[in-house]
Structure 1
Amino acid sequence: METSLRYGGDSKALKIHAKQKIRIDTNTFFQVITFFQSFLCIIHSRYSTICVCYPNKVRGELDTKNGQPNSLRALVRHFYPDLSATLGVGVQYDKLNNVGEKRYARNDKLRYTVLAKKTFLVTEDGLVNFKIKGACDVDQDFKERKSRGGAEFSWNIFNFQKDQDVRLRIGYEAFEQVPYVQIRENNWTFNADYKGRWNVRYDL
């Protein structure tokens, strides 16, 4: 299981994020994700949420204020080694989040999710590569759609200093038309984009 602590500049919450991949066959995995969120600002403490994950089934988020789930998600990913590509399909249900903001669009609906990623090696050793990726969420009536995607270069530097590995990613989000950067040093990861949004992750 992969576990990390996450905090973003656009949020007042520290999240404990856990992800577990369950193998279905050689190249197909069922992805289970859950995180526990607690608000750092006392004024929002009564809106704190916790997340529950039903093993092998869904990702879920439960609002402890009203006892209603905020989001549920299930996703299956298939890897194509010969193509260096990944395809994922799943379903997701999102409600208003606990401070009144909407994660997706106007109404709370069941949404279908499709995502894909393709990697191209730039160097023979694989330390530098180029990726294109995209995803689309569609509501249950196939009328409302939210898309995201872009392209990025990734450069991995092993033993940048003694016992220190570094990864640098520079990319462009096509739908929001904004460049972004990611810097990873061992367990620490920092993400930022041109709009001033940022977040920090620490892998446990």
Structure 2
Amino acid sequence: METSLRYAGDSKSLRIHAKEKFPIAANTFCQLNGELDTKIGGPTYFNAMIRHFHPDFNVGFGVQYNRNRKVHYNVRGKKVFQATADGLLSFGIKGRSEINEEFKQIHYTGAAEFIWTIINVKKDQDLRLKLGYNVLDKVPYFQMRENNWTINADGNCRWNVRYDL
């Protein structure tokens, strides 16, 4: 099970996130993840998704239940193009759609991003930098990931920090 501690500037609370993947078939698995919010003392959401990884793209379909007792269905897809032969620089496009219990689309997003991976910045320390643009919201974003730490920020001054346990 993958677990992480998460903190976002807009929530002002520490969240404990857990994720587990169960293989179903070749390149396909069921992913379950959920989150506990330490401020409210309870779960904020639970998500179950079927994900398929193809050599050229990946796609997922799932259902999410949040603390407002709302059920949402989601569909997501991602395609990455290698920009260099060693695979350390790439360009990705991704999209996601959320649909409510009446099967009406309530939120969708699409983004394009450059991903630069730097191996052994220091001994046993890798770094991944992402610079992206959310096409629908018209907001640039940035991610820096160093081994267990991840920092995300966007053009609307939103930010969050994650530590993978």
Same fold (TM over 0.5): yes
User: How many pairs are equivalent?
Assistant: 165
Q: What letter matches 1:91 in structure 2?
A: V
1:4 corresponding residue in structure 2: 4
Q: Does 1:154 align with 2:128?
A: no
Matches of 1:156 and 1:174, distance apart in 2: 23
1:120 corresponding residue in structure 2: 81
Q: Does 1:135 align with 2:107?
A: no
Tell me the TM-score normalized by structure 2. Answer: 0.93
Larger strand fraction of residues = 2
Matches of 1:22 and 1:191, distance apart in 2: 28
SS of equivalent residue, structure 1 residue 12: coil
Tell me the TM-score normalized by structure 1. Answer: 0.76
**Displacement, 1:72?**
4.0
Identity %: 51
1:13 corresponding residue in structure 2: 13
2:141 corresponding residue in structure 1: 180
Larger helix fraction of residues = 1
Q: Does 1:35 align with 2:9?
A: no
Instruction: Give the aligned CA root-mean-square deviation in angstroms.
Output: 1.5
SS of equivalent residue, structure 2 residue 102: coil
Q: What letter matches 1:112 in structure 2?
A: Y
> Unaligned stretches of 5+ in structure 1?
40-47, 52-60, 62-70, 97-107
Q: Does 1:88 align with 2:60?
A: yes
SS of equivalent residue, structure 2 residue 36: strand
**Displacement, 1:162?**
2.0
> Unaligned stretches of 5+ in structure 2?
none
Which of structures 1 and 2 has the bigger CA Rg?
A: 1
Q: Which has the higher contact order (CA 8 A, sep 6+)?
A: 2
**Displacement, 1:168?**
0.5
Q: What letter matches 2:50 in structure 1?
A: V
Q: What letter matches 1:37 in structure 2?
A: D
